[in-house]
Structure 1
């Protein structure tokens, strides 16, 4: 397929400036389905375990469905933020870290109350044998077969002027969302990725722990 022109971003710039966008999602401007299809076409080039490509992608644009999913997500967010409030005290001795986490919490709450208004909700899914029962033990190969593709989708969206966010809180109500969308029993959801045009200026690399604090060469 022929892709539309993308933003003039170098590979490193694309990788380091693709952020989770919450407050800066444009809730009023429609996103063309053809643009979503382009991003998914890029995502399908991602690797998967033994090249099985066991993924499926549910794109939700219907206003009533988005609203119902949004209510479930809002409920999950409110529960998460209530439980996370005590965890936030762990950073009380680090004012800079505490301020960052407070801003993140505020943006999570903002999106939690508006998820149902986002023009496109993407749910990457995996087909799981055994009626959808997740296998015991190591699941890295299972989820590793969809997460790179979902990230590729987010990178492709960023390159086209769209904002996304990686969210999973709706999985508290995974069964309810599955019923809303008519998902087969063997299909499990991996994430919920809101997709919209983003407002404001571009994005910068985020503050991260120094590499030498997390790098281990040869042994721990």
Structure 2
């Protein structure tokens, strides 16, 4: 790896790789070799039976980004209109309500400006036979999504921000056609990637681990 990475401990890297939306630098180009380095790191992730059936769509063309961004924006606004307000979802928890409002505001920003993010990365997986299994799909996506998260971590270590998004899948057929994907390849996530503004990130507020741990049984 030729690029110097940020001096972060493993725990710092894992706890400060946040979804970056408003702080994505929409004007600063991202070198292609930096994206390649992040993918190289991602390719060390595990896959079922060591199949390595992944593909990485790296979109920098302005027209392609505009088209993908258009689908994403339509999907986001439909999703937002169908959802319940934070006041209803978290009634009585003022801190959570305010947090969710901030998240919603930044998510709307990303929807409006996705087309301006300099690099859109769509990790995809080869599906034998070209049809997603009707039953358990965990082995399939388990061979892609760990690598996608490794990409996000590698990007963070190189001063880049990403956001984990999947709303483009509301227009999966259209996006696949736009990207020229063969019928046996399916995207699993859309990772807008750019340099970020500001200094750094801090861990998000979470409930204590014991809130979620079940020992030996539920």
Smaller-chain TM-score bracket = over 0.9
1:180 corresponds in structure 2 to 178
What is the aligned partner in structure 2 of residue 138 from structure 1? 136
Relative to 1, partners in 2 of residues 1:88 and 1:184: Cα closer, same or farther, differing over 3 Å? farther
In the alignment, what sits opposite 2:203? 205
1:164 maps to 2:162 = yes
Following TM superposition, where does structure 1 have runs of at least 4 consecutive aligned residues deviating by more than 6 angstroms? none
- Contact between 1:24 and 1:199, CA under 8 Å: does it hold in 2? yes
Tell me the residue number matched to 2:188: 190
Residue in 1 that maps onto 2:68: 69
RMSD in angstroms over aligned alpha carbons? 1.0
Show the counterpart of 2:149.
151
Structure 1 position 138, deviation (Å): 1.1
How far the C-alpha of 1:209 sits from its partner, in A, is 1.5
Q: Is the 8 A contact 2:86 2:97 kept in 1?
A: no
- Structure 1 unaligned regions, length at least 5: none
* TM-score between the two structures when normalised by the length of structure 2: 0.98
Cα offset, 1:86, TM superposition: 4.4
Rounded Cα–Cα distance in structure 2 between residues aligned with 1:26 and 1:7: 18
CA drift of 1:88 comes to 5.5
How far 1:59 sits from its partner (Å)? Answer: 0.1
Matched, 1:59 2:58: yes
* In structure 2, distance between residues paired with 1:151 and 1:90: 28
- What's 1:40 paired with? 39
- Aligned pair count reads 218
Q: What does the per-residue CA deviation read over 1:22-75, in whole Å, with 9 as the maximum and x for residues that have no partner?
A: 000000000000000000000000001111011100000000100011010000
Q: 2:108 maps to which residue? A: 109
CA–CA separation in structure 1 for the residues paired with 2:179 and 2:149: 23
CA distance in 1, matches of 2:80, 2:91: 17
Asked if the contact 1:125–1:190 (Cα under 8 Å) also holds between the matched residues in 2, the reply is: yes
SS in structure 2 opposite 1:163? strand
Q: TM-score, normalised by structure 1?
A: 0.97
